[in-house]
Structure 1
Amino acid sequence: MKKILFPTDFSAASLNAFVYALHLAKNINAEIITLHVYELPIGLAIDNYDFLLENYNIGEWGVFENFKSEVPKLRDIAERERMEHIPVTHMLERGIPVDEIVTTAASERADIIVMGTKGATGLKEVFLGTIAEKVIRHAKSFVIAVPEGYAYEPIQKVLFLTEYEKYETGLLKKAKGFADIFKAHIHVLEVKKHNDDAIGVHISKWKDSFKSDDITFSFINTDATEDLILEFIDYHKINIAAMSIHHKNLFERLFLFSLSKQMAFHSTIPVLGIPA
């Protein structure tokens, strides 16, 4: 059975992403491991904090009680979605969230990490530098960042953003393995501000490498890179955007577009980070 690691802080964005994790688990026959990470209280020296815990057991008990009171929210969501049959276990760890998430994903051999993110709010919030973005950069497994407010949809169309570099064919193979689970079509797309005279040759080579696969290849030359990507997502009814962690600027653009654009997607779609 596959494993999905679901880091949660029990925020609205995180609880919304749990719905996505449940549906994903159902489709790939996976169990879910939820992980809540808490940090040391600000101002307490580590040695002193450990001494207090060892001798008086204060601090941690309060965290544990809070954790126990939040976990039923996840069970309620599973019942609402009629997915009580999905195996779910819970972990509580102390440490730095990014480090603990990446370490736990490795030790538990998680196939996919699913996380919630606030995404675009029209407020200049930066996706780069958030816990989700850092996990995507450091984890060895696939990471799916689910924007707050996104309602789960079956994965039928995957957008793979690329620069048609040779090394990226290996990443496309990984994306294809993911898409094949859902029998989903893949749109491979490069959006560039400057025209590329050799792009036709590059695309031909990629087509030859994926002849029998359900994949289409496109290149669009435009100055409005992020707008075009979002329009492409809307027009083709894309369910998830996959990309290499190499394209950090695209992550930022996808998560920071203005809500005033009145796109069909009032929020961005989930992003699948593929480890190089």
Structure 2
Amino acid sequence: MKKVLIAIDYHPISEKVAEAGYELAKNLNAEVCLLHVLNDVGFYGTQYPTFMGYDGYSGMAPDLDLALEMRNIAEEFMGKAKAHLNDERVSTYIAEGDTAKTILNYAEEWGAEVLVMGTHSHSTFEKLLLGTVAGKILEKTKTPLYLIPIKK
């Protein structure tokens, strides 16, 4: 296994996930890529026409700077995450879209041989209602998944 993809987000558990994934990659002498997904950035600041008699959106001007600002924040976050691992060979990738689908697509595109993710400690109700990104990926992935359990 020569390619380890580590999916991280803005949650503090990402530090433990990045470190555990990086340690795995070092043990395998594998290439590392840190991945962060901006979930559906295109929907922020969108101006919609009146629909179903609702014109609440009509007074809102689209904030085209919002998507750029979110991208800038993500780039700063990924730069810090890479610096934290202190290895210039680590690459980073920022994608946009549905988190689970985007992770799966990029893992395949990049040729990841292991995908590393953390598991947030959501309540049972939240898991039943919303599912989890890790659960959705586990259902559909063809790539071996290395999950880092995080307990509160």
Common fold by TM > 0.5: yes
Paired residues of 1:14 and 1:117 also in contact (CA < 8 A): no
What residue in structure 1 maps to residue 16 of structure 2? 16
Paired residues of 2:5 and 2:32 also in contact (CA < 8 A): yes
Q: Which is higher, the Rg of structure 1 or of structure 2?
A: 1
Distance across 1 between alignment mates of 2:150 and 2:114: 19
Distance across 2 between alignment mates of 1:4 and 1:45: 39
Q: What displacement does 1:73 show?
A: 3.1
Distance across 2 between alignment mates of 1:93 and 1:143: 19
What residue in structure 2 maps to residue 129 of structure 1? 131
What residue in structure 1 maps to residue 113 of structure 2? 111
Q: Which of the pair has the greater relative contact order for Cα pairs under 8 Å at 6+ separation?
A: 2
Distance across 2 between alignment mates of 1:21 and 1:57: 35
Distance across 2 between alignment mates of 1:72 and 1:23: 19
Distance across 1 between alignment mates of 2:17 and 2:105: 21
Paired residues of 2:2 and 2:31 also in contact (CA < 8 A): yes
Q: What displacement does 1:145 show?
A: 1.4
What residue in structure 2 maps to residue 98 of structure 1? 100
Structure 2 residue 83 is matched with structure 1 residue 68 = no
Q: What displacement does 1:44 show?
A: 2.7
Q: What displacement does 1:2 show?
A: 0.9
Where structure 2 has 5 or more consecutive residues not aligned to the other structure, the ranges are 49-60
- Match for 2:127: what amino acid? V
Paired residues of 2:35 and 2:94 also in contact (CA < 8 A): yes
Matches within 5 A, 1:235-246: none
Q: What displacement does 1:58 show?
A: 2.8
Distance across 1 between alignment mates of 2:45 and 2:67: 16
Distance across 1 between alignment mates of 2:47 and 2:112: 33
Structure 1 78/43 Cα, relative in aligned 2: closer, same or farther at 3 Å? Answer: closer
Q: What displacement does 1:42 show?
A: 5.2
Paired residues of 1:5 and 1:110 also in contact (CA < 8 A): yes
Query: RMSD of aligned C-alpha atoms?
Result: 2.9
What residue in structure 2 maps to residue 273 of structure 1? none
The TM-score normalised by the length of structure 2 is 0.75
Residues 117-157 of structure 1: CA deviation (Å, up to 9, x unaligned): 124x7x435388200111111111101111225xxxxxxxx
Matches within 5 A, 1:220-239: none
**Structure 1 runs (4+) greater than 6 angstroms displaced:** none
Paired residues of 2:34 and 2:78 also in contact (CA < 8 A): no
Paired residues of 2:82 and 2:91 also in contact (CA < 8 A): no
Identity %: 26
Residues 209-245 of structure 1: CA deviation (Å, up to 9, x unaligned): xxxxxxxxxxxxxxxxxxxxxxxxxxxxxxxxxxxxx
What residue in structure 1 maps to residue 51 of structure 2? none
User: How many equivalent residue pairs?
Assistant: 136
Residues 69-108 of structure 1: CA deviation (Å, up to 9, x unaligned): 21243134314xxxx26x2111111111111110111111
